[in-house]
Amino acid sequence: MADPARARSSGHRLILMIAVAVAGLTLAACGGPSRLSGVVNLPGADETTAEPIPKDEVTVAFEPFTGIPGNIADELAGEIAAAAEVRKITLVKRLGSPATYRVKGFLSAISSDNAANIVYVFDVFDASGKRLHRITGERQAGVYAGDPWSGVGTAQLSLVATDVIFQLDAWLMGGGR
């Protein structure tokens, strides 16, 4: 007789693998690598001859997030702003305003046995639209009822924001190129 805990664990892994594969295919369609393993420097990103930009001269604009309900996106934007303030990253808050870098975020909530996970990818672009850097991650969320986003609360959004800003800060400290 099969062990129910092992079957549930296998089910979680299968659903997670499917979600990662779908996210990878989506990202591949966007022209980038499909790894979801943390900080990713894109091919050619280190080949630039441009001078590094000092972090205190950098401005960053976050574009509207894709794949996340509006009310949760607003809360995440607030968490990102708070995390950026702690790390002394200057955010441009007006949509369409000039910025050194633009960041596009893609998020998905994935369900498995009444639990949810948030999978996210944030791409950093220069002013000309060239993608320079990718930040990826996943966070476990809470129990949900119907919609996996209902299991995502402030604590999980704060963890996502902190991780994204931490990784962005590390990249900027390296010269942002």
Per domain, the residue ranges of the chain are 4-173
The CATH classification of domain 4-173, taken from the options 2.60.40, 3.30.70, 3.30.1490, 3.30.160:
3.30.160
For the ranges 23-27, 56-60, 78-82, 152-156, the maximum mean pLDDT occurs at 78-82
Type of residue found at 83: A
Q: Indicate the helix (H) or strand (E) that contains 27.
A: helix 4-29
Give the single-character DSSP code of 57: G
Task: Give pLDDT tens digits for 114-149.
Answer: 788 999 999 999 999 999 999 999 999 888 778 899
Secondary structure class of 110 (helix, strand, coil): strand
CB atoms within 10 A of CB 159: 17
Prediction pTM value:
0.72
Q: What is the mean pLDDT of residues 16-33?
A: 42
- Residue 121: exposed, middle, or buried by beta-carbon count in 10 A (0-12, 13-18, 19+)? buried
- Residue 20: exposed, middle, or buried by beta-carbon count in 10 A (0-12, 13-18, 19+)? middle
Task: Give pLDDT tens digits for 61-113.
Answer: 999 999 999 999 999 999 999 999 999 999 998 887 899 999 999 999 998 77
